[in-house]
Structure 1
């Protein structure tokens, strides 16, 4: 088996690994977007409650409960921001894995192409040698006739 054919097997394996990592990256990026959307919803919900508080008159007891609820919403927003940071960190890690996998695939593909070029040159030289040998044999046979 030629080196280029063996290298093609390695290139295929590297591409498969790259594709697997790319799929994980897509999942991670979708999760980041989902977490960001949750944050936007929490912030909108919190803002809605803050603005409504000013519009409705609440007694002291209801006002305290209302404020506790708004405070819990604020805590949820902080936790959601932390969740986004964790998910983005995971996404960046997977992105770095993909970059490495892509680089490996490209380098193996380059090496395979180098072997293909080398094999083509060797084949061209072999064919030229055979052609020269046949021409020489015809020349010798023509002189003998």
Structure 2
């Protein structure tokens, strides 16, 4: 098997790996966006309850329960912000892996092209040698 064909196998493997990582990156980015959307919903929900509390005349007992509920919503917001951080870290890590895979694919492709160029040069030299031998035989045949 020629070096070009072996290198093409490496290029194909590298491309498949790059595509898998690209799909993972798309999923990770979608997760970040989904987490951000969920955070916005929680913030909107908390804002609505906060504004309603100010409008309602609640007893001390209900105010305490209401405040506990709002505190739990605030805790959920903090947890969601942490989830966004984790999702973003995962997306960043996957992005670095994708860049590395892309670089690897380009390297393998460059190597394949280098081997192809070398093989063409060898083939050209062989053809030139055959042509020279043919011309030399013809010349000798004409001299005789």
**Structure 1 length normalisation: TM-score?**
0.94
Q: How many angstroms apart in 2 are the aligned matches of 1:122 and 1:55?
A: 87
Residue in structure 2 matched with residue 33 of structure 1 by the alignment? 33
* CA shift for structure 1 position 61: 1.5
| Partner-residue secondary structure (3-state), 1:57 | coil
Residue in structure 1 matched with residue 101 of structure 2 by the alignment? 101
Once the two structures are superposed, what CA deviation does each residue of 1:36-88 show, in whole Å capped at 9, x if it has no partner? 11001001111111112122222222111111111111000000001111111
Gaps of 5+ in 2: none
Residue in structure 2 matched with residue 118 of structure 1 by the alignment? 118
Alignment of 1:63-78 (within 5 A): 63-78=63-78
Residue in structure 2 matched with residue 55 of structure 1 by the alignment? 55
| Partner-residue secondary structure (3-state), 2:18 | helix
Gaps of 5+ in 1: none
Q: How many angstroms apart in 2 are the aligned matches of 1:69 and 1:85?
A: 25
* CA shift for structure 1 position 7: 0.6
Q: How many angstroms apart in 2 are the aligned matches of 1:106 and 1:54?
A: 61
* CA shift for structure 1 position 34: 0.7
| Partner-residue secondary structure (3-state), 2:128 | helix
**Structure 2 length normalisation: TM-score?**
0.95
Q: How many angstroms apart in 2 are the aligned matches of 1:106 and 1:121?
A: 23
| 1:5 and 2:34 aligned | no
| 1:14 and 2:29 aligned | no
Runs of 4+ in 1 over 2 A off after TM superposition: none
More displaced, 114-123 or 90-99?
90-99
More displaced, 84-93 or 52-61?
52-61
